[in-house]
Amino acid sequence: MKRAKFYAGVLLAGLMAAAPAGAADIKERNIKVGIGLTADHPQGQAVAKFGELVSQKSDGKIKVKLFAGGLLGNDVSMVSSLQGGTQEMTIPDTSTLVGIAGLKEFGLINLPFALNSSEEADALLDGPWGQKLMAKLPEKGLVGLGFWENGFRQISNNRHPIAKAEDISGLKLRVIQNPLFIDTFKALGANALPMPFPEVYTALETGTVDGQENPLATLIASKFYEVQKHTVISNHIYSVWAFLISKKFWDKLSPDEQKILTEAANEATAFERKTIRAFDATALEDIKSKGIQVTTLSDEETAKLREITKPVSAKFIQEFGEAGAKEMMAELEKIRAGKN
């Protein structure tokens, strides 16, 4: 996490003043962290870890409380609450930020089949390109404390196994409330239905949708295996969360308090990535043991999906910014060549 620590330090340098000499300036504070996922999901576990670290570093003065399962709202409403200063922290999918004026470049992360591995995603997001994205947040009332992995997204459904690209056609699939996700699945022939995450389980259970697409860790932690029969390892989109704090709250903190949260966030980011990858490594066998039929697309079928979604990528590169897309691809080329 050396790169991530350097990255967070540079990102926040412009927001932090030099700490005064003498005793640390730490007040009694309460921080509400809202997430849409369950408390036992790796994201929830990482928030708990963050809370422990903050408590340790502040001698118990700063307390972090997790509100899981959408108790404080969905990603869109919670980001709005951070901007308004009525909630301190949340961890939305970066796709949520695309709807905020001036933050469209965050959508480039989700271009279909843009990323090949978690390792290159770390290098991209912790490096100059990711740092540039995070630097856009303060003027929108947000401060970014790191990128947390969600993972490569897979498709589950109740109707039939997916063994080839054509099998996606006709499925009613819940997708993130984001045009890129909607257009990607429309291109694949699915009926893409956007809805907030807290509503997904009930929609699957009642048959409002046939399926959904999320990383395996989410499928397990949210118990979607109870209401789904088939999963395909499609790796169609890489998904990442932004660990955010309200700038209105951040600006009230002393330099010492900001330092505590920054350090805790760095450590929690490393913990989250390690935890979710360990979770994901066992998730495949877990869902099989729970009766889910799992298929894996061949290289030929994956190539078909890549080709079908090329026009979608081209459209959203225009929308999100060609310059940013070129910078991202140039950075990925360096990473893949081992030059980063």
Indicate the DSSP class of residue 90.
E
Q: What percent of the chain has pLDDT over 90?
A: 86
Only one residue has tokens 């979604």, namely 309
What was the pLDDT predicted at 339? 61
- Rounded CA-CA distance 263/5 in Å is 8
Residue predicted with more confidence, 24 or 258 = 258
**Please, what are the domains in the chain?**
2-9+31-151+240-281 (3.40.190.170), 154-237+287-336 (3.40.190.170)
**CB atoms near residue 119 (< 10 Å):** 10
pLDDT, tens only, 273-309: 999 999 888 988 999 999 999 999 999 999 999 999 9
pLDDT, tens only, 86-141: 999 999 999 999 989 889 999 999 999 999 999 999 999 999 999 999 999 999 99
pLDDT, tens only, 266-278: 999 999 999 999 9
What was the pLDDT predicted at 19? 42
Tell me the pTM: 0.86
CB–CB of 40/1 below 8 Å?
Answer: no
Provide the b/e sequence for 36-67 (b: ≥16 CB within 10 Å). bbeeebbbbbbbbbbbebbbebbeeebebebb
Name the pLDDT band for 23 (thresholds 50, 70, 90): low
